[in-house]
Amino acid sequence: MNRYPRDFRGYGPNPPDAAWPGGAKIAISLVLNYEEGGENCLLHGDAQSEAFLSDIAGAQPWPGQRHWNMESLYDYGARAGFWRLHRLFIGLQIPVTVYGVTSALARNPEQVAAMKAAGWEIASHGLKWVDHRDMPEEVEAAQIAESFRLHEEVVGQPPQGWYTGRCSMNTVRLAAETRRLAWISDSYDDDLPYWREFGDHDQLVIPYTLEANDMRFATAPGYITGEQFFQYLKDTFDTLYAEGAAGAAKMFSIGLHCRLIGRPGRIAGLRRFLDYARGHSGVWFARRIDIADHWRATHPHRRFERPSQMSRERFIERFGSIFEHSPWIADRAFDLELGPAHDSAAGLHNALARVFRSASPEERLCVLRAHPDLAGKLAAAKRLTPESSAEQASAALDALTDDERSRFQRLNEAYVAKHGFPFIIAVRDNTKASILQAFETRIGNDTATEFVTACAQVERIAELRLKDQLP
């Protein structure tokens, strides 16, 4: 099976109404990444010093050596930045989700106590703040298991949420396979939570952000001043708030780090934004577990049979009649690079239509000839396919007067005699009157023009049939 795993469709053109509590127009999730004491360091058993997300421009790891400047910058986050942020959030009574690196939490007991006393959610940020991209799957799985164990030991209860950050291609699956998480955030692909299926397990994903994130103070292109950070957050808020006011409420994640936004000149921009957001009605500041609980109650996952996951036999059984009496189209479409984008009516229609369009003229002619006459002998004998019967009935072609039936019969015979295939039109797009008008007009076209027109109508009929079956 040639299958493509990435999901470019998501919710498609019609995302769900988030229905945030109290009719809120926007949900804001403040995330505090707590990594200080979990980063690469010889003291932590690593082979080199840390080089990621600090105020040292162009930092490189020091193999086999401790990096005093790097360590002290991380230390600032724990010693000063955390407490400055703690005072800000406590003072404004704003809830927070902490992405806590488990080994860092174990080395920072006072900060953990303060998080718990404030009622903050403490989620897992992995066992160590290190890159997982080259980590063998079994090693990463073992680290996830150890993170759960140590987190419960240090915090007093296991994490309900997970975000590795520097993840591998296996991270989300491995975290989901624990079946212990209310949410996972190692994704940046939407403005709303969504469900993913891992075997028979349904996992909620709450996407995160790398742009409404103070990490841009330590990367290029990035923020230089707190005012730039404020302006970006404000612009994002204004856009999402307007969408929410129009009935399409979204979620706004904001990523923070103690050693970055905790600096005096930067936190001023964050404070300015929080004051601005709090000045609006219909704003829900929520922990990620609160968002997860709401989504699970309001938008529970509903499974459906996905074309991209079917066997060939089931695929042909289900979609072989979409193009009238032409299961070979479904058979060939099965071999295309199908994926989540094809698990919708529009997506699967595109795949089936590709096969039809690339078929030989003779094959397409066979598809046209497989269609019944409108209100013809097969209809009278009740020998139409269920799809054709329903379609013709939608325009009352199953309830014609004797004169109307005679007129259709004359037109059918004249059309087939001239063009060599039946008159085809998407009946559900038309009325009896518009069908007859099109019949009278198109019968005078040349056959080449009619062949193209009929093929387009066949594709439209297939599209409408698929919309009866798929999202």
The values of phi and psi at residue 344, to 5°, are: -120, 165
The number of angstroms, rounded, from the C-alpha of 244 to the middle of its chain's C-alpha atoms is 19
Helices assigned H by DSSP within 199-250: 226-245
Q: Is the dihedral of CA 163, 106, 288, 52 positive or negative?
A: negative
- Residue 374 near residue 412 (C-beta atoms within 8 A): yes
Of the residues 86, 132, 349, 371, which is catalytic?
371
Residue 371 designated active-site = yes
Instruction: Name, in order, each residue with C-beta under 8 angstroms of 70's C-beta and a sequence gap of 6 or more.
Output: 49, 50, 51, 54, 56, 59
Helix (H) or strand (E) holding 283: strand 283-285
CA 329 to CA 340: how far, in whole Å?
20
Pairing of strands 194-198, 201-205: antiparallel
Residue type, 175: A
- Residue 192 near residue 252 (C-beta atoms within 8 A): no
**Nearest alpha-carbon partner for 236 in 217, 258, 254:** 254
DSSP-assigned beta bridge partners for residue 204: 195
Catalytic residues: 371
